[in-house]
């Protein structure tokens, strides 16, 4: 109720700029004037450009920053957890023990990781919208997609560049983002997983907090540490409560202008369904790993991912389930609709959007169960299947002209896809059997045994039997098998007797069909009318807003401060002494031996984690927190529970980001992990 009440107050003010510290701002359209008026510091475009070049986007949906001129990159531990897991063996378990490279030579390549630096932004709105002029429905979406693919293709002149046309304001603007690609990313230092994830599921999205969720990787060029003059300097003065700071990172897809129908679909259908799915998977995986150290080692990272997703979705759903919050969104929607109706010119332009969106949501309710099962859900929850599907589809798509392919198989995307599919990583067969069993079971549970797709994919086999057969029988763990299938194309795929390829072949036609329906009846309609909705929003509320998060670089501003929760004051910062007080000796509340040993060398009053009002969300993980001087003062790794509603709205009274303090980072590196080498480098000495 607390959240809802203050949201209602927030709504009584007018216009986005009035909502204190709300906003995920574009770096080429930052509200410097407003920030200057409020805080006495107005970032210049030169300041913003420096921040843009110091920020790094990590391949798998995380943020990071360059912190030395020799390519050292800071991010969260949880952003490179897959890499650490992939590099671990029973003998060298870097998740359990942590990892510190004593020299460049000891740094280890992360097989799946890519890092991108945003070197240029170009507005291509006119070109993209021009290509779709006069079109509607599926044709509109198709034209947009093709033009985006053409622009990206022309930009990506070398494998060292990545070019994405980014959709902003739900299609109101299109920007071409040109990235410098770093495909050779090596792990330099990481704490123990139990310290990074200290507090586990119970503490996740909570504060006070004691996570040491940081890790360092280094980007390489031609086998040498990359030369990165754009690195952000480290702060000489540590951050303290009340400081104005900035967060540069790539928040994921928010949806802050939505109709009531869209929000109700999330609250009533989509989020509960996803929560139920992840909950079953969580129970399965925890029981799977229970009491078996080997299985625990290969599973704990996946468990953490599932638990994090589950708690995040739960918070989002709870936000929408709060009647006051939902009524605020309903009021916003109704007010926008009325304002449009009241003006014949606006009504003619935007009025159709509401009904069209309502129809698309109705279609989504009908199509999404099948779509999520057949096309999404990470390939029935199996890494092997995900690879098999990628190979099957690449073979089918590559002979087509780039503009007619599925989006993720266009020429611009092929190099990254190839790297992803041919990467050399260990896959645990026991874990694959467990997760694929769950995935296939869900398929049959939901669609029923009589469903033609279920019969095509599973025949009369049980989920367990089919999972065992295809996981035990596949050779896709051998890089040369995958390479032969990639190079061999359609003929090789058709001739393959690998049972996982066979499963992917059977699954593909149905999945493509439902994807097509969703693209035509849902996504195209929502894209076109979401654009109208946002244009209406801009037409009614003015142009000083920020676009929804799109996993691309943004800047948020805010202050380091606590909040009130049920009459109780939550502090702005935690200190080292609190970490030791919370130690129970048992996961997830066990302080690692390294920190117990280093305790005499550390000040008990050293700041540890901090809460701040920045408007961040998933995707911001690993974002640097920056002071007025453009210096790094910490690394964002989480938000609190109220921040989980960030997809839909922001409330300065309760919404908090959670950051690991810069001083704790350097002290930890030097005194706990013996990584003085990196500390010197970060300090520029």
Considering only residues 405-434, where is the footprint of a copy of itself by CB under 8 A? Answer: 434
Q: How far apart are CB 137 and a copy of itself at their closest, in Å?
A: 21
173/267 with CB nearer a copy of itself: 267
CB atoms within 10 A of CB 318: 17
β-strand partners of 244? 559
Instruction: Name the E strands within 517-630.
Output: 554-559, 563-565, 568-570, 573-575, 607-612, 624-626
Q: How far apart are CB 132 and a copy of itself at their closest, in Å?
A: 31
Q: Binding marks (x or -) toward a copy of itself, 352..381, rule CB under 8 A? A: ----------x---x---------------
282 counts as binding a copy of itself under rule CB under 8 A: yes
154/276 with CB nearer a copy of itself: 276
Helices 429-447 and 352-374 pack at an angle, to 10 degrees, of 130
117/298 with CB nearer a copy of itself: 298
Compute the CA torsion angle 367, 316, 613, 569 (nearest 10 deg): 180
Q: Cβ contacts of residue 475 below 8 Å, gap of 6+?
A: 481, 498
Q: Binding marks (x or -) toward a copy of itself, 526..565, rule CB under 8 A? A: ----------------------------------------
Q: Which of 62, 101, 264, 388 binds a copy of itself (CB under 8 A)?
A: 264
Cβ–Cβ < 8 Å for 30, 551: no
203 counts as binding a copy of itself under rule CB under 8 A: yes
Nearest to 632, CA basis, from 219, 32, 231: 231
Q: Binding marks (x or -) toward a copy of itself, 461..490, rule CB under 8 A? A: xx-xx-------------------------
410/643 with CB nearer a copy of itself: 643
Q: Which of 130, 323, 473, 674 binds a copy of itself (CB under 8 A)?
A: 323
Q: Measured between alpha carbons, how far is 590 from 580 in angstroms, rounded to an integer?
A: 9
272 counts as binding a copy of itself under rule CB under 8 A: yes
Q: How far apart are CB 298 and a copy of itself at their closest, in Å?
A: 15
Number of residues that bind a copy of itself (CB under 8 A): 52
* Sequential DSSP letters for 163-217: EEEEEEGGGTEEEEEEEEEE-EEEEEEE--HHHHTTTHHHHTT-SS------EEE
Q: How far apart are CB 119 and a copy of itself at their closest, in Å?
A: 43
Does a cis peptide bond (omega within 30 degrees of 0) precede residue 208? yes
Q: How far apart are CB 103 and a copy of itself at their closest, in Å?
A: 39
587 counts as binding a copy of itself under rule CB under 8 A: yes
290 counts as binding a copy of itself under rule CB under 8 A: yes
586 counts as binding a copy of itself under rule CB under 8 A: yes
438 counts as binding a copy of itself under rule CB under 8 A: yes
Give the angle 407-412-417 at the CA atoms, nearest 5°: 75
584 counts as binding a copy of itself under rule CB under 8 A: yes
Nearest to 116, CA basis, from 154, 194, 61, 68: 61
316/389 with CB nearer a copy of itself: 316
* 375: three-class secondary structure by DSSP: coil
Q: Measured between alpha carbons, how far is 159 from 331 in angstroms, rounded to an integer?
A: 48
Q: Measured between alpha carbons, how far is 376 from 383 in angstroms, rounded to an integer?
A: 13
444 counts as binding a copy of itself under rule CB under 8 A: yes
Cβ–Cβ < 8 Å for 267, 666: no
366/516 with CB nearer a copy of itself: 366
**Alpha carbon 358 to chain centroid distance?**
27
The region of 162-170, 317-325, 503-511, 608-616 touching a copy of itself under the rule CB under 8 A is: 317-325
Q: Measured between alpha carbons, how far is 266 from 260 in angstroms, rounded to an integer?
A: 10
Q: Which of 49, 221, 241, 268 binds a copy of itself (CB under 8 A)?
A: 268
The region of 185-193, 260-268, 592-600, 672-680 touching a copy of itself under the rule CB under 8 A is: 260-268
* 563: three-class secondary structure by DSSP: strand
- Burial of residue 431 (CB within 10 Å: 0-12, 13-18, 19+) is buried
Q: How far apart are CB 241 and a copy of itself at their closest, in Å?
A: 22
Nearest to 5, CA basis, from 321, 325, 436, 326: 325
Footprint of a copy of itself (CB under 8 A) = 1, 199, 201-203, 206, 261, 264, 267-269, 271-272, 275-277, 279-288, 290, 314, 317, 320-321, 323, 362, 366, 434, 437-438, 441, 444-445, 448-449, 460-462, 464-465, 584-587, 589
């Amino acid at each position: 109720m607390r959240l809802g009440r203050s949201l209602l107050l927030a709504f009584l003010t007018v216009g986005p700029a009035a909502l204190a510290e709300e906003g995920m701002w574009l770096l080429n359209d930052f509200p410097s004037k407003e920030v200057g008026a409020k805080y006495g510091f107005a970032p210049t475009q030169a300041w913003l450009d420096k921040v843009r070049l110091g920020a790094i986007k990590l391949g798998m949906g995380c943020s990071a920053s360059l912190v030395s001129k020799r390519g050292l990159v800071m991010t969260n531990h949880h952003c490179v957890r897959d890499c650490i897991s992939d590099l671990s063996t029973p003998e060298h378990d870097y998740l359990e023990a942590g990892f510190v490279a004593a020299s460049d030579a000891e740094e280890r390549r992360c097989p799946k990781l890519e890092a991108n630096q945003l070197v240029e932004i170009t507005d291509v709105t006119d070109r993209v919208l021009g290509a779709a002029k006069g079109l509607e429905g599926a044709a509109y979406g198709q034209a947009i997609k093709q033009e985006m693919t053409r622009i990206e293709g022309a930009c990506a002149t070398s494998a060292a560049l990545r070019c994405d046309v980014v959709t902003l304001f739900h299609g109101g603007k299109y920007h071409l983002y040109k990235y410098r690609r770093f495909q050779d990313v090596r792990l330099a230092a990481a704490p123990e997983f139990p310290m990074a994830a200290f507090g586990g599921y119970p503490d996740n999205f909570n504060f006070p907090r004691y996570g040491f969720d940081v890790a360092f990787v280094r980007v390489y060029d031609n086998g040498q540490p990359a030369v990165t003059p754009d690195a952000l300097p480290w702060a000489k003065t540590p951050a303290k409560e009340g400081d104005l700071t900035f967060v540069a990172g790539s928040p994921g897809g928010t949806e802050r202008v939505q109709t009531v129908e869209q929000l109700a679909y999330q609250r009533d259908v989509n989020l509960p369904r996803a929560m139920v799915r992840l909950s079953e998977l969580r129970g399965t995986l925890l029981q799977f790993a229970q009491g078996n150290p080997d299985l625990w080692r290969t599973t704990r990272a996946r468990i953490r991912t599932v638990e994090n997703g589950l708690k995040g979705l739960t918070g989002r759903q709870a936000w929408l389930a709060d009647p006051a919050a939902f009524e605020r969104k309903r009021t916003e929607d109704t007010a926008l609709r009325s304002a449009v109706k009241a003006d014949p010119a606006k009504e003619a332009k935007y009025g159709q959007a509401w009904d069209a969106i309502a129809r698309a949501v109705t279609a989504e309710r009908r199509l999404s169960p099948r779509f999520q099962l057949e096309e999404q859900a990470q390939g029935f929850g199996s890494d092997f299947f995900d690879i098999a599907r990628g190979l099957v589809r690449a073979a089918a798509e590559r002979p087509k002209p780039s503009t007619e392919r599925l989006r993720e198989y266009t020429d611009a995307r092929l190099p990254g896809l190839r790297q992803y599919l041919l990467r050399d990583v260990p896959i645990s067969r026991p874990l694959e059997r467990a997760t694929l069993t769950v995935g296939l079971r869900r398929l049959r549970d939901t669609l029923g045994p009589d469903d033609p797709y279920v019969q095509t994919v599973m025949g009369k086999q049980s989920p367990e039997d089919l999972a065992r057969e295809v996981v035990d029988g596949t050779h896709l763990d051998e890089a040369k098998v995958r390479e032969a299938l990639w190079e061999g194309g359609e003929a090789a795929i058709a001739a393959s007797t690998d049972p996982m390829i066979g499963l992917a072949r059977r699954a593909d036609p149905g999945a493509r069909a439902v994807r097509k329906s969703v693209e035509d009846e849902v996504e195209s309609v929502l894209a076109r009318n979401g654009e109208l909705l946002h244009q209406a929003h801009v037409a009614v509320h003015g142009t000083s807003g920020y676009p929804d998060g799109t996993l691309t670089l943004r800047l948020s501003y805010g202050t380091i401060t606590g909040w009130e929760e049920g009459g109780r004051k939550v502090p702005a910062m935690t200190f080292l002494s609190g970490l030791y007080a919370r130690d129970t000796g048992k996961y997830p509340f066990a302080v690692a031996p390294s920190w117990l040993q280093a305790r005499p060398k550390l000040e008990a009053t050293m700041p540890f984690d901090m809460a701040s009002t920045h408007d961040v969300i998933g995707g911001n993980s690993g974002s640097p927190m920056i002071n007025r001087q453009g210096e790094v003062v910490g690394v964002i790794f989480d938000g609190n529970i109220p921040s989980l509603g960030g997809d839909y709205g922001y409330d300065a009274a309760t919404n908090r980001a959670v950051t690991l303090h810069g001083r704790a980072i350097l002290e930890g590196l030097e005194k706990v992990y013996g990584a003085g080498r990196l500390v010197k480098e970060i300090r520029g000495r």
